[in-house]
Amino acid sequence: MRVLSGIQPSGKLHIGNYFGAMRQHLHLQHENDGFYFIADYHAMTSNPAPDDLAARTFEVAMDYLALGLNPQKTVFWRQSDVPEVIELSWILSCITPMGLLQRCVSYKDKVAQGLSANHGLFAYPVLQAADILIFKSDIVPVGADQKQHIEVTRDIAERFNQTYGELLKPPADHILESVAVVPGVDGRKMSKSYGNTIEIFEPESSVKKKIMRIVTDSTPVEEPKDPDKCNVYALLKLVASPEELTQWRERYQAGGMGYGEVKKRTAELMMEYFRPYRQKRQELQNDITYVKKVLADGAARARAIARNTLNEVRNAVGLRS
């Protein structure tokens, strides 16, 4: 099965990104043909500063490689290095009804969050469809909030096929079964837009400080506590063994435990979990040539497939040489 996913270089990756999606993406590469790209074209919808976009794109590449992406098995590239996707996006936009895009809730949500109402943001689902269809992807792992965009991709593929013949493969979605909504230090869902993140590769001293100031309730030390309503316990579940987790649950329910104890242990386990990846990340930072080669090789492999699909599409719509 060919699995495709992209991630925007919109800022430093945090543990919510990892436990909510990235870890599952990396797992899927072992049993499937992975096609993973850094979506720098998509990131442009928020009009980032040029230097920031370039730097963040390269940082995401190093992050994914450090966390276990295998470039020998998985095709890994920068979206802008495969320009065929932009031409396909234009062709698809010409058969995409306006009403289909107007029904997409993500555009309204992002505008409500303060992003400028530009055409790129509005037409985002068409470019996403081109990303998926040009590689004839079988499944696309997404969160529940992206399910509508996969449905839009299927609608666009079916409309194209009805018009020009059965050529594009409508993908199946693969809804990621997140361990939980990862809380940020303020108790809300961890998100760059809230400024409440714990970054994957920030200094360990900073990780510990952030975990120690996670918002908790005011239950006295001697009183029993509900672990399932505790932001710290939600993070502990991500890194503790089942046996240790059982012990902590019993301590919560018995009372006599302060939140500072579980915060300290959560910080220790979180740092231990990411320490090997942190070491690999530093090695990559010192071998930029290797990272560039991985992206170049991935782009070459991706372009070969994208070019074949685009040639088929061009021929079908009448753009023949």
Query: What are the CA-CA distances from residue 78 to residues 36, 41, 300 (Å)?
Result: 9, 9, 11
Cβ atoms within 10 Å, residue 146: 18
Q: How far apart are CA 275 and CA 282, in angstroms?
A: 11
Cβ-in-10-Å burial (0-12, 13-18, 19+) of 228 comes to: exposed
Count Cβ atoms below 10 Å from residue 260 Cβ, excluding itself: 12
The catalytic residue positions are 110, 189, 192
**Which burial class, exposed, middle or buried, applies to 130 when counting CB atoms under 10 A from its CB (0-12, 13-18, 19+)?**
buried
4, 38 in Cβ contact below 8 A?
A: no
